[in-house]
Amino acid sequence: MKKKEGSFSDSAFLLHKLQEEIKNCQKCPLYRTRTNLVFGEGNPDAILIIVGEAPGKDEDLQGRPFVGAAGKLLRESLRYLEIPEDKFYIANILKCRPPGNRDPKPEEIACCLPYLKRQIQIIQPKIICSLGKFSTQTLLNTTRGITYLRGQKFTLPHGKILIPTYHPAACIYRPPWRKQFMADLKKVKQELERLSSTSY
C-alpha cells in the first residue's frame, strides 16, 4: 500500500478500521483481562513511529499509549529535543496489557505483531524508534540485547531506518541510562532533520 500526498484522511480511516477490527481480537487470552484496547495515537502520516512493548496499568485504564511515568519521561524528552508531536505516532507491540505488567510472551507477540505491521504499512514512516528489548528484538528479528543494539542505525526493508533505545521505564529504574536514552533520541532527531525538509 503506497501513501499518496495529502492522504491524511485515508491513513486515518485505515487506522480507525484496523482499530475496530482489533477490538474484537481474541487471538490470545489477554483480551479477557484488559480494560481497554491500547491501539496507538499520533499523526496517521507521521515520518516517525515510536514502538514500545506493551501497555501498563495507566495505559490500560485510559486506552492510550505511554501515559504513565514512562510515557511522561518519553514525551518530556521528545519536547526537550523539540521533536514536534505532528512528526510521530506512538504504538506498542502488544495492544492489551499483560497482567501485572509482566513481560510479553512469545505467543502474544506472535499474535499481535501482524497488527503493528499493518499500522506501519498504513502510516509508512521513514524512521522507527524501538523502545526496549522486546520491541527491538521483534522488529530486528534478533536475540541480541538492547544494551548492544541501542543507538545503532539499522536499515529495514523498503529503506526504513530503525534506531533502538532503552525503554523509558528502564531509565526510571536505572537513572544512569537516561543519558544514553537522550543520546539515542538525539540520533532520531538528526535522522528526522536529514529526511525532512522541516526545520526544527
Residue pLDDT tens, the chain, 200 long? 444 444 446 999 999 999 999 999 999 999 999 999 999 999 999 999 999 999 999 999 999 999 999 999 999 999 999 999 999 999 999 999 999 989 999 999 999 999 999 999 999 999 999 999 999 999 999 999 999 999 999 999 889 999 999 999 999 999 999 999 999 999 999 999 998 765 44
Structure letter (DSSP) for residue 98: P
With contact defined as beta carbons under 8 Å apart, do 118 and 133 qualify?
no
CA distance 112 to 166: 21
Q: Which CATH class is domain 8-193?
A: alpha beta
Q: Residue 158 has what pLDDT? A: 87
Helix (H, G, I), strand (E, B) or coil at 29: coil
Closest alpha carbon to 84 in 11, 189, 184: 189
Closest alpha carbon to 151 in 117, 177, 113: 177
With contact defined as beta carbons under 8 Å apart, do 160 and 51 qualify?
no
Domain ranges within the chain, ordered by starting residue = 8-193
CA distance 10 to 8: 5
What region does 100 belong to: left with phi over 0, alpha with psi -120 to 50, or beta? Answer: left
